[in-house]
Amino acid sequence: MELEKSERPWGRYEVLQESATHKVKCIWVSPGKRLSYQRHQKRAEHWFIVQGTALVTIDGVDKTLGAGSQVDFAIGVLHRIANIGEDEVIFVEVQTGTYFGEDDIERVEDDFGR
């Protein structure tokens, strides 16, 4: 089975590994773009920044993170990542929980009207 790849208005992602208990993605965020401000009901996430300068918002608090930084979001925590640098932001996302579908995204704010 081929793993999922998807182009998005903010960049792209590739699923690296998937099982009943976890999902691992590599995510590329284009300069000046950001993902929706969102939360999940069935999964927690761990992000490890590989490249670039990111502004991460967690329940309304902004943090600037660079390569080698990591952050965790529990189930139900609002979160967003924005690329505030000149280069692509690349990060690895590890999802844990009971369900990993794209329909477990509650978008509170979205630059692309989704």
The CATH number of whichever domain residue 71 belongs to comes to: 2.60.120.10
Tell me whether residue 78 is in a domain.
yes
Q: Please tell me the pTM assigned to this model.
A: 0.95
Tell me whether residue 68 is in a domain.
yes
Number of structural domains found in the chain:
1
- Residue 83 pLDDT more than 90? yes
CB environment 10-42: b (16+ within 10 A), e (fewer):
bbebebeeeeeeebbbebbbeeebbbbbbbbee
- Residue 2 pLDDT more than 70? yes
Tell me whether residue 104 is in a domain.
no
- In this prediction, residue 1 has a pLDDT band, given cuts at 50, 70 and 90, of low
Tell me whether residue 114 is in a domain.
no
Range of the domain at 83: 5-99
Tell me whether residue 109 is in a domain.
no
Distance CA 102, CA 38 (A): 12
What pLDDT, in 10s, does the model give residues 89-113?
Answer: 999 999 999 999 989 999 999 999 9
Tell me whether residue 19 is in a domain.
yes
